[in-house]
Amino acid sequence: MRRPDHAQCVRLAAESSKREDWASAARYFQMALKGDRDNASLMRSASLALAQINELESAELLARKACKREPNNPDNWVGLSLTQLKQERPEPMHEALDRALRVDPTHGSAVHAKCKALIEAGMPEEAREVSSRAVSEPDAHPLSLLIHSRVCRALGAYPESIDAADRVLATDGITERFRAGAYFEHGSSLDALGEYDDAFDAYRRANAIMPAGPPMHAESVIGNWSRGCFDALPRSGNDSRRPVFIIGVPRSGTTLTEQIIASHPDATGVGELPLMPDLARRTLASNLTREILASYADEYLALLDERGGAPTARTVDKHMYGETTAGLAAKMFPNASFVHCLRDPLDCCLSAFFQNFGANVPVSRDLIALGKHYVAHRRIMDHWKETIGLPILTSVYEDLIADQETRSRALIDHAGLEWDDACLRFHEDAGTVRTASTDQVRRPIYSASTQRWRRYEKHLGRLIDTLGPYAEHARSHA
């Protein structure tokens, strides 16, 4: 097959980016660079695509080259900041964003990234100072308007949040991504104001803009990790108890659980590490040897040292799709702790549908797909617990809300730590939180998010049917 020429590589890269196929986009952008090595725009685009697939060293190298080539282009500094963000390096990330804003204080991507980082660090007032300057211009960039909408919502200024989102929708020629973001902001503010039918319609419009991703395939995980396969595999020989793996579908309470454990003086949270899913993709389970597992364990612990700062007795990882990697993790670290987060499936799926995950959780764009995904998740977790017999602690969100101390003590005990009252004050030192639960983990436990689905019940018929017995159990125990 003939190698595509430069123009074809650029076109194929752009098409791959549009359909969120970041691996192909990275490959084509890198091929295009071979024919135009000094093109800072191609460097930046390749860096962004590489960052999406967590090829972070290569992404940062290209981003730095772009900044050196065109130091007065704020887009290049924003691209560099993304690589720093993904590597859990907040100080250089802010330095790069500040450099971009010095060049152009109204630059949409820079304003959005800076304000988002400030919100995630628990500094919404500071974020409002940045976004307010940018949106004071009549032709404010849609990204500035979108983040200003989010900032205002975080501060309870819902009418101002809605106005900013309206300005996005009134902008000529906006992209589908911006349109979806505006509808998500509408939905969130309308929900807070109690206008539930209008809120659901806004969320529906937001999710309809991009196609939904496929739900998880339970049979492939269960088939690849049968009891016979699991028992036949060796252990790595690594006896570390440091890893604590939190498993759960989006919006099931994983961030809250991580923060409770990570608030212990002898524990650290590292958020959603990408390494374990990457390790799982490298070879079939049946091909694993003791040497491979040992090398995986060493690589994983090295990453914990890099991301978690000074080593602690326990480090919490709540990487996405942890249900698919539990068997591998158990062979790498036989002494690791596993926590399974459960939440009312209707609340869980609805909350995911209401969340703007961008390209990270495409299954969240459709309620039926979400229902199928939830059922697959439960099947896989039943396999680990009942067939394989992994020692997994189940933490039910509603029980944690109802009896915080008892359930928190159970989490800490399961992680093999002595109790510390700091675990009841997780909200006082939440640090930087980059998940959909940013706001929730910065305040004490509250019950407002339970039984939320009842406000939207008339819109949930298809989801209820898809969840089947899980939905019936939730409804009968309401």
| Order of strands, sheet of 267-269, starting from the edge strand that comes earlier in the sequence | 267-269, 314-317, 243-247, 337-342, 392-396
CATH number at residue 331: 3.40.50.300
Residues 348, 448, single domain; the answer is yes
pLDDT per residue as tens digits for the range 207-217: 999 999 999 99
Query: Using 50, 70 and 90 to split pLDDT, how confident is the model at 449?
Result: low
CATH number at residue 11: 1.25.40.10
Total domains in the fold of the chain:
3
Q: Which of 201, 277, 186, 248 is nearest to 396 (CA)?
A: 248
Average pLDDT of the segment spanning 335-345: 96
Model confidence, pTM: 0.84
Residues 34, 66, single domain; the answer is yes
Angle at 374 (CA atoms; ends 372, 379), nearest 5 degrees: 95
From 103, 137, 155, the end of a domain falls on: 103
Query: Using 50, 70 and 90 to split pLDDT, how confident is the model at 18?
Result: confident
pLDDT the model gives residue 432:
46
Average pLDDT of the segment spanning 215-222: 95
Position 251 pLDDT exceeds 90 = yes
CA dist 4 and 10 (Å) reads: 10
Average pLDDT of the segment spanning 337-361: 94
Residues 230, 300, single domain; the answer is yes
Q: Which amino acid is at 135?
A: V
pLDDT per residue as tens digits for the range 258-275: 999 999 999 999 988 889
CA dist 304 and 211 (Å) reads: 35
pLDDT per residue as tens digits for the range 172-201: 999 999 999 999 999 999 999 999 999 999
3 state SS for 356-387: CCCCCCHHHHCHHHHHHHHHHHHHHHHHHHHH
Position 44 pLDDT exceeds 80 = yes
From 73, 103, 133, the end of a domain falls on: 103
Average pLDDT of the segment spanning 432-438: 47
Are the C-beta atoms of residues 261 and 410 closer than 8 Å to each other? Answer: no
Average pLDDT of the segment spanning 212-224: 95
pLDDT the model gives residue 437:
47
From 69, 103, 137, the end of a domain falls on: 103
Residues 435, 465, single domain; the answer is yes
Q: Which of 97, 177, 163, 161 is nearest to 128 (CA)?
A: 161
Residues 113, 35, single domain; the answer is no
Residues 240, 346, single domain; the answer is yes
The set of residues, in sequence order, having a beta carbon less than 8 Å from that of 34 and lying 6+ positions away, is: none
Q: How many helices (H) and strands (E) does the chain have?
A: 24, 5
What DSSP state is assigned to residue 443?
S
Residues 126, 95, single domain; the answer is no
Residues 300, 342, single domain; the answer is yes
Residues 152, 287, single domain; the answer is no
Position 82 pLDDT exceeds 50 = yes
Are the C-beta atoms of residues 339 and 301 closer than 8 Å to each other? Answer: no
Residues 256, 375, single domain; the answer is yes
Residues 109, 239, single domain; the answer is no
Position 106 pLDDT exceeds 70 = yes
Instruction: Give the domain range for residue 187.
Output: 105-210
pLDDT per residue as tens digits for the range 200-209: 999 999 999 9
113 by Cβ neighbours in 10 Å (0-12 / 13-18 / 19+) ranks as buried
pLDDT the model gives residue 323:
97
Query: Using 50, 70 and 90 to split pLDDT, how confident is the model at 360?
Result: confident
Q: How many alpha carbons lie under 13 Å from residue 198 in its C-beta half-sphere? A: 11
Percent of the chain with pLDDT over 90: 83
141 by Cβ neighbours in 10 Å (0-12 / 13-18 / 19+) ranks as buried
pLDDT per residue as tens digits for the range 364-406: 999 999 999 999 999 999 999 999 999 999 999 999 999 999 9
Residues 193, 155, single domain; the answer is yes
